[in-house]
Amino acid sequence: MAIEIERKFLTKSSEWKELAKGTKYCQGYLPVSGECIVRIRIAGNKGFITIKGRAIGASRTEYEYAIPAPEAEAMLKDFCEKPLIEKLRYKVDYAGMTWEIDEFYGDNAGLITAEIELSAENQPIELPPWVGKEVTGDHRYSNSNLVRNPYKNWKQP
């Protein structure tokens, strides 16, 4: 069984942007009920289908498979809930680990998150200077919830 252990943070500066080039991502979620979510994604020019279980803390089961990009495009258009998630993903190495920074567009414009995948929930990490508040347990920031309640609808301070 594949387990994903991931922590998510907001960013507090844009220093990270000078360190990497972004890859365009478009993803959507198939309407399912129960114990999992099913994501369709195009990253650059590659298609993927991912099945994720419920999160328990920072961990959850995850299975991901490559699929032809034209099929992923058709599934995004025909089957996925709207709005789709549109973002640029940047990969930045810091202190021997790779951070993924997502800069959202469309209905989630203005939101920027930084994620780190871990091998254990209690694995120590060194936070980069551009990482801010941790939002791992705040489900509003999960991509599947950003489809249902886009960032543009949140009450901004």
Catalytic residue among 25, 29, 90, 94: 29
Q: Strand, coil or helix: what is 78?
A: helix
Instruction: Give the residues across from 65 on adjacent strands.
Output: 49
29 catalytically annotated = yes
Q: Strand, coil or helix: what is 131?
A: strand
Give the Cα separation of 91 and 97 in Å (integer): 10
- The residue type of 13 is S
106 close to 86: Cβ distance less than 8 angstroms = yes
Query: Catalytic amino acids?
Result: 29
